[in-house]
């Protein structure tokens, strides 16, 4: 592999390595391109790219810092449970291209199709995840620690082909610790009203980070985060998320029944359709809450919810 200096860092085949995204690369680099790639290729350059992401993952070595670049305009149809499975620890999957040129994974064939993340310390950035079926239950199914999902857009392929929940941590206690969901966007088509929560967590989790996400949804049961039963979230950081949905009652922002929670939830903004005076924020015992605003009116700014503390 050849490396070339340039004023803002070091590149390999035109991809920034130092000073760029994802930073210094210590392992192998692979490319995936549906336009020209073949799985029989070597995969180490854009001209010898693989055709599919799952194949490229299988060529990685665990815990060496391997990076897979999805080329601009890469398009792939994924079917089945774990149709793509990130089962190699410490890899990064980076989409190249902006807006309409971002790599696009069409999750199709039924409601159970998933992108499974079972290995630890997997990073996924800058792709479009499109639902190709009515209420696909899960986008990313995370059962490995340290998963980072960043700059991913969750899209409807067409009307009535939408997501249930874009991200789920479905494993046992603490198997998804360190999960980060940042700078993502979920704006379903207006006709899709059955969408559920943005992030669902089925057991205890530590170090959850959910920041900078935008969700504009017609769903009537769509909080930002839903955690099962009395499970707990510790040392979480949930800040600067913007959420608009059509819930009329219930936990409007977070739903959690645990009593041993800890962490910070701050500067979030959420709009809804609860026109009563209830504005049920959600059960979040133990968390520290700062400057979170709620509104059920489309032409007024939000009120602080829960109410601000008083000097006592």
Residue-wise pLDDT for 138-196, tens only, equals 999 999 999 999 999 999 999 889 999 999 999 999 999 999 999 999 999 877 678 89
pLDDT value of position 282: 86
Alpha-carbon span 25 to 27, nearest angstrom = 6
Phi, psi (5° rounding) for residue 193? Answer: -105, 0
The pTM of the full predicted model, rounded to 2 decimals, is 0.93
Determine how many CB atoms are found less than 10 A away from the CB of residue 8. 10
Choose among 278, 276, 281: nearest CA to 291.
281
DSSP state of 308: P
42: left (phi over 0), alpha (psi -120 to 50) or beta: alpha
CA dist 290 to 60, 257, 268, 312, Å? 42, 20, 9, 17
Please calculate the CA angle 35-149-109 and round it to the nearest 5 degrees: 55
* CA 115 to centroid of chain Cα atoms: 11
Beta bridge partners of 15: 12
Determine how many CB atoms are found less than 10 A away from the CB of residue 112. 16
Number of separate helices (H) and strands (E) present in the chain:
1, 32
Choose among 226, 235, 279: nearest CA to 257.
226
Span 180-196, pLDDT tens digits? 999 999 999 877 678 89
DSSP state of 307: P
pLDDT value of position 281: 85
Choose among 307, 232, 302, 311: nearest CA to 268.
302
pLDDT value of position 194: 84
Average pLDDT over residues 229-245: 96
């Amino acid at each position: 592999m050849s490396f070339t200096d340039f004023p803002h860092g070091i590149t390999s085949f035109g991809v920034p390595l130092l000073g760029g995204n994802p930073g210094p690369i210590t392992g192998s680099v692979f490319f995936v391109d549906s336009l020209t790639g073949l799985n029989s290729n070597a995969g180490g350059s854009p001209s010898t790219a693989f055709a599919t992401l799952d194949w490229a993952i299988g060529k990685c070595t665990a815990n060496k810092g391997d990076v897979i670049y999805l080329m601009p305009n890469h398009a792939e149809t994924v079917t089945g449970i774990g149709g793509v499975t990130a089962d190699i620890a410490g890899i990064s999957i980076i989409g190249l291209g902006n807006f309409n040129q971002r790599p696009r994974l069409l999750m199709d064939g039924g409601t159970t199709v998933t992108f499974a993340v079972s290995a630890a310390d997997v990073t996924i950035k800058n792709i479009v995840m499109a639902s190709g079926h009515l209420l696909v239950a899960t986008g990313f199914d995370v059962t490995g620690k340290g998963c980072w999902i960043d700059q991913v857009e969750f899209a409807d392929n067409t009307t009535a082909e939408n997501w249930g929940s874009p991200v789920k941590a479905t494993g046992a206690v603490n198997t998804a610790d360190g999960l980060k969901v940042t700078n993502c966007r979920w704006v379903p088509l207006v006709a899709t009203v059955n969408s559920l929560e943005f992030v669902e967590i089925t057991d205890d989790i530590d170090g959850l980070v959910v920041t900078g996400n935008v969700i504009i949804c017609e769903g009537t049961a769509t909080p930002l985060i839903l955690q099962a039963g009395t499970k707990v979230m510790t040392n979480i950081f949930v800040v600067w998320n913007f959420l608009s949905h059509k819930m009329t009652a219930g936990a409007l922002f977070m739903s959690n029944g645990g009593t041993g929670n800890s962490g910070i939830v701050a500067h979030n903004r959420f709009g809804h359709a609860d026109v009563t005076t209830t504005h049920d924020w959600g059960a979040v015992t133990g968390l520290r809450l700062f400057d979170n605003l709620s509104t059920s009116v489309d032409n007024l700014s939000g009120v602080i919810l829960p109410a601000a503390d008083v000097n006592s």
